[in-house]
A and B are shown apart, each in its own frame.
Chain A
Amino acid sequence: MTTTDSPPAPAAPVRRRRSSGDTERGFSRTFRWIATGSGALILATLAAVALFLIVRAWPAMTASSAELADAVPRYPDDTSFLAYVGPLVFGTLLAAVLALLMATPVAMGIALFISHYAPRRLAQVLGYLVDLLAAIPSVVYGLWGIAVLAPAVGPVWLWLNEYLGWFPLFAGGASPTARVLATVSVVLAVMILPIITAVSREVFLQTPKLHEEAALALGATRWEMVRTAVLPFGQSGVISAAMLGLGRALGETMAVLMILSPGFLYSFNILQAAQQQTIAAYIALDFPEASGLAVNALIATGLALFVITLAVNMAARAIVARRKEFSGAN
């Protein structure tokens, strides 16, 4: 089928078949190479990044803890390398997961409203506005976080801490500056909202009309139709949308750097200052003054972030692949 040097076919029906992509010649062939090259470039880039991270992180991973404590500014004495990276990984995951928990339900709500409830014209405008949110640079989110959001949510955090302090997340003392992980998570949630909404909306719109009409014909209300036809169909799509959002939340640097008052503990107290730090913000904070082994240590934390992101994406793939058969799409 992919022979490229077959003689030109005389008959019209054959030519039509060829134009459907069975044979390749001329520009089609060139384009194939361009596309293949682009695909290979992605792999090469990924490999180059991974190689860079491993090579540059190696000195830090093999150094003794005494050497590291000597060279790395915030390295705690007498701890292994894993004990040093651990709290950073913990903080990164905590911030991203909280953001995801806040953003996903809202994003699904927006997506369902746009795809199934809103009048068409309003839906278009709304969809456009949500996409616009994605275009705001993260440094602007950071500024908004410190100038507007932190002062605004400060009293809310104080209230949560006072009345719901028995709940582990709200324990400890609430920081009067509101430069805490809870504020960071809210900003991250806003940042990942557009991508989750956009992907979910596309998936919901693809629900087969027949499924929806069948549900309605059986006497389902609009909500029951959404629950029985749209959501099962869109499940895997929503999961991959959420994972895309999680990826962005894990790697977000600027907003976290600007807002968070960092600490290096395994702490669930998201209203308290000086408790957690994320890997990306840690690297950005300490890289400007780092040299020698300290740079290697920072790159090693970057490697940890790379591995986490890779694992998240692979998990998302696995979930999507497993759910595909049951989604009712086929």
Chain B
Amino acid sequence: MLPLAGCGVELPGFGAEDEPSADPEPTVVGEFRGAGSSAQGAAMEAWIAGFREQHPDAAISYDPVGSGDGRETFLAGSTAFGASDVALNDEEMAASGPACDGGNAIDLPVYISPIVVTFNVKGVDQLNMSSDLIARIFTGQITRWDDPAIVTANPTVQLPALEITPVHRSDDSGTTDNFTDYLHATAPEAWPHDPDGLWPLPDGFAAEGTGGVIETVRSTPGAITYADASATADLGQVAIKVGEEYVPYSADAAAAVVDVSPRIENRYEHDLAFVLDRKIDKSFAYPMVLVSYLVVCSRYEDKAEGTFVKEFVEYVASVEGQERAAAAAGSAVISPDLQDWIAEAAKSIYLTQERPEEEAAGQAARQPGGTAGG
């Protein structure tokens, strides 16, 4: 740690302070901290490693403390960026002024992790299921693989007379949260429980972490679970019903759902917070996904920090950054459109000293409820 920190201090020639003119590839020097979503943990490590290949003098640490704490520490101004599985709400947005030197926070959806319902039935690679059917399996109303409801949806598949063992996560997880959100939105009658990171039903079979549920399914014939798509490659996968068609998981379809989802209204410019359209009926989209945001400021007082965030956001949204995350964390590469929007947002991040004339406007925006809107 020490030699690394020393580098940043001993090389003022590369430092931001000495070069007021903006050069095409700004050098990032210093120590920067981020905190938040544990879902993004693996991807963030990959991004930091990739970013440091281009900017070896930047020391970046990411603390996967959880989305709630991530937003809190970001709003308190103690981290350069936050990461959160949900976008900042309007109150949090309105309170972002002090941390952003009079600017505001912006939410950028950089991480899309598809969730796949996966099972262990010998000889069966893919099954069609509606969300209603999935909900009734996980609540224990359908207990056998040869249940008429499953057979009707899969007329061509030979299903065994085997008991279904639904397995869920025992820990608090974003995967469970998004899976239950999907069920609740698309099959409210079969799944009346509110979305939650903790499994809402008291009984059933549980295991800890993605590795735990996958290992349980692998060793238990007839077991079914939900997990990050990357973990389910060698098990049977469920194609979910979207509109009138069954859509198997694919990275493109998972990325597409974000593009067509409506943005949250009345947000600051360049804020890309979405309301995921779980009930989408377009068969090119796969709505069972977890979307996680990078939360940054629109304006930074510290030049080194501002330059870093600008460059880092650009890198994360770039093809290289996204592919690195896909390789490391199994996420879906975001669509080219979304990459462009995020790159635009990155360009819009500015330093206080660049726009002295906005000081007054920034002061005004700092007031709670300023421009955040309803």
Contacts and interface: CB of A to CB of B under 8 A. Distances in A.
Interface string B177-211: 00000000000000000000110001111111000
Interface string B205-235: 1111000100110011011000000000000
Which of B66, B170, B172 has the most A CB atoms < 10 Å from its CB?
Answer: B170
Contacts of B163: 176
A177 B66 CA distance: 30
A179 B172 contact: no
B203 A288 contact: no
Of the four ranges (under 10, 10 to 19, 20 to 34, 35 or more), the interface on chain B belongs to 20 to 34
Contacts of A262: 170, 206
A263 interface: yes
A234 B202 CA distance: 46
Interface in B55-76: 66, 68-69
A295 to B, nearest CB: 11
Contacts of A73: 172, 197-198
A291 B68 contact: yes
A177 B216 CA distance: 6
B171 A261 contact: no
A179 B216 contact: yes
A176 B198 contact: no
A261 B206 contact: yes
Contact of A147 (B68, B219, B220): B219
Contact of B212 (A258, A286, A288): A258
Nearest to B197: A289
A177 B171 contact: no
Which of A151, A257, A264, A289 has the most B CB atoms < 10 Å from its CB?
Answer: A289
Contacts of A74: 198
Interface string A228-256: 00000000000000000000000000000
A154 B221 CA distance: 12
A96 interface: no
B66 A151 contact: no
Of the four ranges (under 10, 10 to 19, 20 to 34, 35 or more), the interface on chain A belongs to 20 to 34
B165 interface: yes
A24 to B, nearest CB: 43
Interface string A147-163: 10011001000000000
A271 interface: no
A288 B66 contact: yes
A175 interface: yes
23 contacts: A73-B172, A73-B197, A147-B219, A150-B216, A176-B222, A177-B165, A177-B216, A177-B219, A179-B216, A260-B170, A261-B207, A262-B206, A263-B202, A273-B206, A285-B208, A286-B172, A288-B38, A288-B66, A288-B171, A289-B38, A289-B66, A289-B171, A291-B69
Interface of A: 73-74, 146-147, 150-151, 154, 175-177, 179, 257-258, 260-264, 273-274, 285-286, 288-289, 291
Interface of B: 38, 66, 68-69, 163, 165, 167, 170-172, 197-198, 202-208, 212, 215-216, 219-220, 222-223
Given A73-B172, A147-B215, A289-B171, 17 more contacts: A146-B215, A146-B216, A147-B219, A150-B216, A151-B220, A176-B223, A179-B206, A258-B208, A261-B206, A273-B203, A273-B205, A285-B171, A285-B208, A289-B66, A289-B172, A289-B197, A291-B69
